[in-house]
Amino acid sequence: MISYEDCVKSIKRALVTNQTCKEIFDYLTSPVTVNNLIVFSDAGLPAISGIASTLESRYSDNAEFPLSAHQNRRYVGKIVKCILAHYGYVPVTGGFDEVARLKKFTNTQHFKTSTVYAKSDADAPLKITIKTERNT
């Protein structure tokens, strides 16, 4: 699995003890959220398009790690990059610093841009598997 400590200490060591950042990481690494990040990436859209409004509604004005602060949104973006790398996704090259504006449907107040990712040819250590099963 993806280690919170390994991911955030490469971003900013002080984040390792930030409980709200850890909660955000746990949300971002949940299978449903990872699948969401991958689906939007595969569609050529910014990875956080499907989750940005949820993040904002939960953590916008959090005292410990407010997403209303630009730097904290950048940290979230770097965490997403770390997570998607484990699934074989890398930032697309070119464009405006490899980011794109979020579309209006995202209905976000603070997040305005996000990195667009694409599946690389390299083998990924993790994968998402979706299956349908009958209810019993």
- DSSP per-residue string spanning 80-134: HHHHHHTTTEEEPPSTTTTEEEPPGGG--SS--EEE-EEE-SSPPS---------
Q: For position 106, what pLDDT does the model report?
A: 82
pLDDT digits (tens, 9 = 90+) for 18-31: 999 999 999 999 99
pLDDT digits (tens, 9 = 90+) for 42-98: 999 999 999 999 999 999 889 999 999 999 999 999 999 999 999 999 999 865 545
Q: For position 67, what pLDDT does the model report?
A: 94
Domain borders along the chain are 4-119
Of 125, 103, 118, the residue nearest 37 (C-alpha): 118
Band (pLDDT 50/70/90 cuts) for residue 99 is low
